[in-house]
Structure 1
Amino acid sequence: MCFEEFAHCRTCGYTVQQKEFCPDYRLEWVKVLIGQSTKTPKQIGDECGRYGNTIHFFPAAKCPRCAWNPPRPDQVVDHWAWAYHQSVGKFPAEKLPKKFNIVEGEICSSKHFANEPLALVNAALRSATYTNPSIGFDAAQKTVFLRDAASQPTIALISGGGSGHEPSFAGFVGKGFLTAAVAGSVFASPSAEQVFRAIRRVGAEQPQRGVLVLIMNYTGDMLHFGMAVEKARAEGIKTELLVVGDDVGVGRKRGGRIGRRGLAGTVLVQKIAAAAAAQGQSLEQVSQIATLASDNLATVGASLAHVHVPGREITPDELGDEIEIGMGIHNEEGFGRVKTTLKGLVETMLKQLLDQSDSDRAYINVNSGEEVVVMVNNLGGISPLELGAITTEVIDQLDASYKIKPSRLLSGTYMTSLNGLGFSITILKVADKAILPLIDAPADAAGWSPAVRPENWANGIDTTKAEIKEDAPSQDDSAPSNLDLDAAFTISQLQSALKSLIVAEPEVTKFDTIVGDGDCGLCLKTGAEAVLKHLETVSSSGDIDTVHFVRNIALVIESSMDGTSGALYAIFVNALASGLQGQASSQKTAVTPKIWATALQAALKSLARYTPAQPGDRTVVDALVPFVNTLAETLDVQKAVGAARKGSDSTKGMEASLGRSVYVNAEGWNECPDPGAYGLVKLLEGFLGHLN
């Protein structure tokens, strides 16, 4: 890219052409940029009378399209990809200070494993050759290509753009998909020379076979790829250019003459075109079906945060707790910011995609019963778990609000914005019966993951919601033990203990976040709430059989508590019931502290068969063993609870021998008890409080 041609914004792709600069003061502006001018920008503007046209060349200026400011004036080159031609005279690129050199620019601290952008891009492109051995890599031109592309009888399909959108586009190079992909720097389009060399690589041997260049609608891409196409045509290579714009986040009025931005829907157009090419269709035929798909395509995105580009200064995110609807894949702002739920967000996004009353955004018209392809695309930072929930919400609302059931659904990572915390929804109206078979056609591309064979779509998507019924836990139906408890007092006592544990959940979670994986508090709370709900079904009049009562609680714990805590409590309470059953009487007998103590000792012995934990290992056992042993020795509940509390406190600063705490750095443990032991103490304190 030459200084005399244009300057390019890495964030949104906007390109300022040379005619927008004052040619008489070009050299003076370069001096300003590198700090060697004696004049201020205002003085230069006043002298040349064209300050409004030259302001884009000043380091502190905003990009005229996305209004993005460079992080600091001295880092302008890290944001604006200015390039300097030898004709500038005294200031060719190699003579500029290092901090202004794009290739050797200073690297800012950031939260990435790789922080040098150019090395990162090249390493990522090389990985494509490892995941697909049929692919080659031209490091000098940052181009990934099919090794046997030049000899193939079918037309070639080339795409590309700025890096940071992986697997687009290098991940889609492979048989049945792209022939080659050309990459620029992060969020910056590749040069015309890179693209031209890629076209020549795949098309020079068979110039009349045809090359289709298919790109997204961004100014930089348009200029560079367009220039390369013209150069290829001049060399006699039959070449066509197709530009995809599918974004509806920015409407017709705001998009103006620039048109819609290209988003994840571009991948569907590329897949359709590539499959048509693989069938042996001509360049004209492939262009026609790809254009038809592009004309019936709409995409909208949403994000929780702006992304950080490796190597750039970290700046505060303005979004806070808001969601940006319509955000582009280069951090560009979109339709607006909202605070809403997932349901409300998807509702707004689908309305922008399908509402025919919105003349500014009604790009496609889909009626009930018409076939569509839906893509729910991960912008890079959404977990598969959350993406699944998003996909369900999208499909359910399409069915409920629009009576639309997709003929094909793609949910995954197809076009990212680095590690963007967002997703996009694409709807492709199937305007030709040939489109679905082209989507279904096989492709040997690492980034393409339809996963489901076409025949599995024969019956369509079943959006019937299965009614969720809570299965009642099994009830103990063994013979009575004749060990009786006062129902009202026992239920009230247990409720007090469980509520004490629920109140302690935030503290347990805090401790477990420091020394574990943070799930202990919620696990204990979930179990406590389930037992409380069960107690509502137990009659509080008269006496209850102790063994039946304890076994039924064990069944509730088994069905409601997961994680290690759930397993330990379920084993212990089941064993406690067995210990009580072992003391069953032929006559009605009130349960005494001694009976409880004996049963608890038996339960502790049973628990030891399934866990090697001993006091001193920093586990729940550090509180459980002192409680059981002290109760057996003294038959005094208050002393037993005190011993459990002392055991829990002893775990502060104790090095873990078992559990996930083993893998956690011990820093900060001195005031942090074992979460499981602490939770047990809070449960026991609830018992004790009710007794007192």
Structure 2
Amino acid sequence: MQTKHFFSDPTHLVLTALNSITVTNPSLALDVQNKIVFRRPDAPRKSKKVSIVTGGGSGHEPAFAGFVGHGLCDAAVAGTVFASPSAEQIRRAAMDRVPTDHGVLIIPNNYTGDVLNFGMATEKSRAAGIRTEFFAMADDVGVGRKKSGKVGRRGIGGAALILKLVGALAEAGGNLDEVYGLAQHVNNNLVSIGTSLEHVHIPGRRVPEGLDTIAPGDAEVGMGIHNEPGSHRAKADLVELVKTMLRSLLDPNDSDRAYVKYTPKDEFVLLINNLGGVSIIELAGITDEVNRQLNSDYKINPVRVIQGTFLSSLDGLGFSISLLKLADTGLGAGKSLLELLDAPAEAVGWSAPISTSTWQNRIDTPVQLKDSNLAEENPSNVKLDPAVVKKVLGAGLKQVIAAEPEVTKFDTIVGDGDCGVGLKRGAEAIQELLDSSSPGLTDDIVNTVNRIVTVVENVMDGTSGAIYAIFLNALAHGLRDQDKGSTLQADTEVWAKALKHSVTALGRYTPAKPGDRTLMDALVPFCDTLYAKKDVHAALNAAKEGTEATKNMKASLGRSVYVGGESEWIGKVPDPGAHGLTEFLAGLANAA
């Protein structure tokens, strides 16, 4: 559980977060005392518009204040973290902070405290003569009918879709009965379920003694947005988790959870909601997995896929899946669920920037990709026996793979610890190419180098991967440049010229030079000495001397620049990249 926060006072945090909404959207205002974000009365607004009032406990941002703005809600009332706002706060919002002449829809999530307080405010508003309707959003299937009992489904991430749709209808001129009816209609066609790898921690609060934690490798399936338990715990394997979650959403034979009936002709909107603590790249991977399984297992190809953080649980390390069946609203042209979903909204919490026309022009057939194989399209006359390549290059690869623990040790001290693993990964991939029999290597050494380049570009990432890729591309060019139309054996002199060309080319893209404590301290001496002496062992000695010299250098480039404790390793630890390269070169030289 993450217990470190930038704020220690949750009350102050809530107020600053609410105020930030008015900073990021100048059409909004904040009633600080009542914690109400609302559309400014002097901001542009359509006449005869139903007002939408929502809200709930804080900690679910961007819900609910983030959904206030043109095309969505008119006001949101915030409680403290995970606690409902009071009935008086909500009454102020419904009666004093939004226009009431064409009615008000009060629409929180379905939690006991919210239902009671928003319901009480609804009755106060009605008693004051204001046409007011109340609806509690309830989309969660995580606990099922038996466990939820009379309380009904909880409201979780799918609430964002309900609010977007009723807000769009109100903006389009729908009357209170239509807007209220749409809320019911959407909820009846909506199912959601969440999962999390850990409970969340409220800033400024001590972790309760005896709090049940989720074991490493497990996930709580159906966990609520306030740390409430779900249906069960399962191994945190994404593929299996998604299968379980989709089964809970779509299995027509699950009488406890089959809230939405559908046929193969029905269309769906898919919403993937971040509970707050999932990285963007992981959320994207989750979306891909959910979409893949919907297509393969249920033959559902969502007509809209929306991904982001809409209703969070502080820094909850989880996500929710929502599926909305696009049932006919009965409201006529321009007011279908899809049209209302695509309608523009100006609220910081709604992020669905893909236009209707882009979705309408969607083509699901795979794009035919063109692949250019420059090596095979442009054969060269520079030759080297493939058996020699496998023997010499293989020896270098074997030695750098064996050196991985030592390179990793050095890089853990002076860098980020990934240099040895990166070199080993690249070496193993190149060795796999050498061992491959289909298609086998030919005696065209330019072709061989180009194939190695492809492996390096696909397997080795980071700065060193880019340097090696640039160097090898230039090496292929340096070899090809010596092709004068007749067969040329790639001897030491040919390699020396090509390597010299590569070093010059590399200098166009990196400022690194010998003395900067990088792999260049080994690479440049090796190439320069080979060019001058045509002796691979003399070149190897130059690389070793360059690497040894890095022990006493202060890094001026690369990640080592940012690593502290320099006095502890100066004179003891060589540059990891230079050391790894020298091990590779030693293997080459000794096998040549």
Q: 5 Å matches for 1:518-533?
A: 520-521=419-420, 523-533=422-432
Q: Which structure has the larger Rg? A: 1
What pairs with 1:446-485 in structure 2 (closer than 5 Å)?
Answer: 446-458=348-360, 462=364, 464=365, 474-475=375-376, 477=378, 479-481=380-382, 485=384
Indicate which of 162, 177, 189 corresponds to 2:84: 189
Contact 1:474 / 1:555 at 8 angstroms: preserved in 2? no
1:285 alignment partner in structure 2: 178
Partner secondary structure for residue 337 of structure 1: strand
With over 3 angstroms needed to count, the CA separation of the structure-2 counterparts of 1:314 and 1:511, relative to structure 1, is farther
Supply the AA of the counterpart residue of 2:356: P
In 2, distance between residues paired with 1:194 and 1:215?
Answer: 13
Aligned partner (choices 5, 11, 19) of residue 126 of structure 1? 19
Q: Which moved more, 1:262-271 or 1:557-566?
A: 557-566
Tell me, what secondary structure is at the counterpart of 1:256? helix
Residue matched to 1:367 = 263
Offset, 1:440: 2.0
Counterparts of 1:337-352 in structure 2, within 5 Å, are 337-352=233-248
Distance between the aligned counterparts of 1:396 and 1:581, measured in 2?
A: 45
Separation in 1 of the partners of 2:402 and 2:33?
62
SS at match of 1:323: strand
> Which stretches in structure 1 are left out of the alignment for 5+ residues?
1-70, 72-108
**CA deviation after TM superposition for structure 1 residue 529, in Å:** 4.3
1:377 is paired with a residue of what secondary structure?
strand
- The match for 1:436 among 322, 330, 338 is 338
Deviations 1:303-326 (A, max 9, x none): 222222211235894331212211
Bigger mean CA deviation after superposition, 484-493 or 338-347: 484-493
1:447 alignment partner, SS class: coil
From 187, 203, 218, give the equivalent of 1:322.
Answer: 218
Q: Which residue pairs with 2:514 in the alignment?
A: 615
Q: Which one of 147, 152, 165 corresponds to residue 254 of structure 1?
A: 147
SS of 1:351's equivalent in the other structure is: helix
- Counterpart in the other structure of 1:624: 523
Question: Which SS does the other structure have where 2:320 is aligned?
Answer: strand
Query: Could you tell me which residue of structure 1 aligns to residue 582 of structure 2?
Result: 681
Moved more, 576-585 or 155-164: 576-585
Contact 2:530 2:538 in 1 (8 A): yes
Match of 2:62 among 121, 144, 167: 167
Picking from 407, 431, 434, the partner of 1:535 is 434
Larger RCO: Structure 1 or Structure 2 (Cα < 8 Å, ≥ 6 residues apart)? 2
TM-score using structure 2 length: 0.87
CA distance in 2 between partners of 1:238 and 1:542 (Å): 80
Matched, 1:143 2:36: yes
Task: Give the deviation of 1:167 after TM superposition.
Answer: 0.9
Identity %: 50
Q: Deviations over 1:345-379 (max 9, x none)?
A: 11111000011111111111122111222211111
Structure 2 residue aligned with 1:177: 72
Moved more, 339-348 or 296-305: 339-348
User: Which deviations, in whole Å up to 9, do the C-alpha atoms of 1:511-554 show, x marking residues without a partner?
Assistant: 55665566655654454344334434689999935555445544
Q: Would you say the 8 A contact 1:488–1:542 is kept in 2?
A: no
Say what the alpha-carbon RMSD is for the aligned residues.
3.5
TM-score with structure 1 setting the length: 0.75
Q: Decide which moves more: 146-155 or 466-475.
A: 466-475
Q: Report if aligned partners of 2:217, 2:236 keep a CA contact under 8 Å in 1.
A: no
CA–CA separation in structure 2 for the residues paired with 1:186 and 1:541: 64
Change (3 A) 1:147 1:498: same
Aligned length: 579
Aligned-pair distance for 1:498?
2.2
Unpaired segments ≥5 residues, structure 2: 330-335
Q: Within 2, Cα distance between the matches of 1:314 and 1:348? A: 30
C-alpha distance in structure 1 between counterparts of 2:122 and 2:170, whole Å: 19
Three-state SS of the structure 2 residue aligned to 1:491 is: helix
Listed as ranges, the matches of 1:9-20 within 5 Å are none
How far, CA to CA, are the matches of 2:442 and 2:346 in structure 1? 70
8 Å contact 2:222–2:230 — kept in the other structure? Answer: yes
Q: Which residue of 2 aligns with 1:662?
A: 561
1:184 and 1:599 map into 2 onto residues whose CA distance is: 70
Distance (whole Å) between structure 1 residues aligned to residue 374 and residue 411 of structure 2: 29
In 2: Cα distance, 1:193 partner to 1:261 partner: 24
In structure 1, C-alpha distance between the alignment counterparts of 2:398 and 2:460, rounded to whole Å: 16
Partners of 2:512 and 2:520 within 8 A in 1: yes
| Aligned counterpart, 1:604 | 503
Amino acid at match of 2:375: S
Matched to 1:226, the amino acid is: G
